[in-house]
Amino acid sequence: MKRFLSLLVVAILAGAMTLGMYKAFLEPDAVVITKNESTPQTSIIPAAYSTTNLNTVNTNTDFTIAAEKTVNAVVHVKQYGITKTPRNLMEYFRNGGTTERRIQGAGSGVIITEDGYIVTNNHVIDGATDLEVTLNNNKSYKAEVVGTAPQSDIALIKIETDEKLTYIPFGDSNTAKIGEWVLAVGNPFNLTSTVTAGIISAKSRDLNEYDGNVQSFIQTDAAINPGNSGGALVNINGELIGINTAITSQTGSYVGYAFAVPSNNARKIVEDILEFGDVQKGILGIRGGTINPKAMQEYGISVSQGVLIASVEEDSGAKKAGLKEGDVIREIDGLPIRKFADLTGYVNSKSPNDIINVKILRKERELNLPVTLSKYIIQRYNIEDVGVEVANPAKEVLKKFNLDHGVVISKALSPRMQRYNLEGLIISEIDGKKVKNVLQVKQIIESKYPEEDITISLIDRDGEKREFVFQN
C-alpha cells in the first residue's frame, strides 16, 4: 500500500512538472484582455461618407506638373522711375528739392502669348519710365506698356523676341471652386520663380465695400508677399485662374489672406486693350446692393441672398428688359448671385451688347429676363493738372450757354481753383479741339506729354469765351 501511494505521488509530481514545462516553454503567449467596468464607453460620432468614386479622386495631389507648366511663364518685372524728392535737408537747401534720383520697384508678370504679351498689375508698372522683364532663364528684355486698366489693377505689357515663349493658357475662373487646390507663382522679395500652394478660400471677395468701386477677388491661402503682385494663380492643371494682386495684413507681409483678380476679368481686359485700345465696359444699368435684414423688412423680401435693385437707369439694358426697383437678382446665366460683388465680377467679364439671362425675384415670383448690356460711358474725369473735375452736361445746361458741345465743371479740386467759383461753367475746347463729352477730354489729356501746357477754353457766366493756359 505504501509502495502504491509513493508511486501515485511521484506520478502526480511528474505530470505537474511536465505540464509546467509545456506551459513555460512550448505554449504560445496568450493575449490578455482586461475590462474595466468603471470606464465609460466611447461615444460614437456619425461620419458623413462621400459616395464619390475614389478612383476618380487624386487623394495625393501632385503639384509638380502644374509647377513645371507655369514656372517658366512667370517673369520678374522691374520698373525704373525718376523722383525729385530730396534725400535729406542738406540736399533740399542745396538744390531746392529738384535733384533727380532713379528708383526701382519690382513685381511679377505672366506671359500669355508665345510672342511676348505679358499681363501684370497696374501698380507694378505705374509711374515707370523704363520697364525690364527677366525670364526664368535669366534673359532680360525691355518692355513697353500696351494698355492699362487702373480700376481693375491690370496692365498689359509687351517684350520683343524672336523665340517662342512659354505661356500660361487662361482657365475659367467662374468654374473654380472654394476648397480647390491652387498654386501662386511669382517673385516675392526678389526670390525668383517661387511656387507656393494653397486652396481657394473664397470667391467674389470685395476689399473696398464702401468706396463705390466694388471688386470681386479670388481669395486664397497660398502664400503671397511683396513681389508676387502680377504673378500667376493657377489650378493643378496649370491653367491661369487669377492674377495675384493684394494681401490683407497688419504687418505688410503675408498672414494667410491673399487676393487675385479672376482670370475671366483679366482676359476680357486684355482682349479689349488689344482690339480697342482701352476697356469696353458693359453695364447692366442698375443701382442696388446686397440684401440685408433692413432691406428684407422694408421690401418684404423672403430671401436673404441676392442683389436688391434700388433704381434702374434710363435708357439702360436693364430698363429696356423690364427690371424694376424692388426686384431681387438671384442668378445671371445660371450663376448664383449672393451679393453685389458676384454681380459686378460677372458683368465685368462681359462686353457691351452681350446678352445675359437675369433671374429675378419679384413679389415672390421668379422671372427670367434677357438683358442686353449697355456700353459704359465715362461720366466724370479729373483734369488734375488744371485742378477741376468735369462731367457730361445735361442738354438744358448746354442750351443755356447756346452751345452744342462742351463739358461742365462739376468740382474744383485744388485750393487755387476753389477760389473762383467755377462749378457749373462749361469747358468748350481743350488745346483748340472741341470736346463733346468726358471721354474726349480724357483722351486729349492722356495723349499729351507730361511737360506740355494745357489750353482750356472756358465759357463764363456771361457766355463769353475765355482762354487759360496751364503750365506743367
CA distance 213 to 175: 24
CA distance 398 to 404: 6
Residue environment code for 261-294, b if the CB has 16+ CB neighbours within 10 A, otherwise e: bbbbbbbbbbebbeeeebbbbbbbbbebebbeee
Task: Check 152, 204, 229, 263 and give the catalytic one.
Answer: 229
Task: Determine contact, residues 409/388, Cβ cutoff 8 Å.
Answer: yes
Return the sign of the alpha-carbon dihedral for residues 309, 313, 314, 319: negative
Whether 229 is catalytic: yes
Q: Where are the beta strands (DSSP E) in 92-180?
A: 101-111, 117-120, 130-134, 140-149, 154-159
Locate 360 and state its grid cell.
429675378
CA distance 242 to 217: 9
Q: Which of 317, 252, 255, 258 is nearest to 282 (CA)?
A: 317
Instruction: Determine the Cα angle at 189 with ends 185 and 191, to 5°.
Output: 55
SS3 at position 238: coil
CA distance 88 to 370: 62
Task: Determine contact, residues 185/70, Cβ cutoff 8 Å.
Answer: yes
CA distance 312 to 23: 94
Return the sign of the alpha-carbon dihedral for residues 418, 422, 424, 430: negative
Task: Check 123, 193, 354, 405 and give the catalytic one.
Answer: 123
Whether 457 is catalytic: no
Task: Check 76, 153, 216, 428 and give the catalytic one.
Answer: 153
Whether 153 is catalytic: yes
Q: Which residues are catalytic?
A: 123, 153, 229
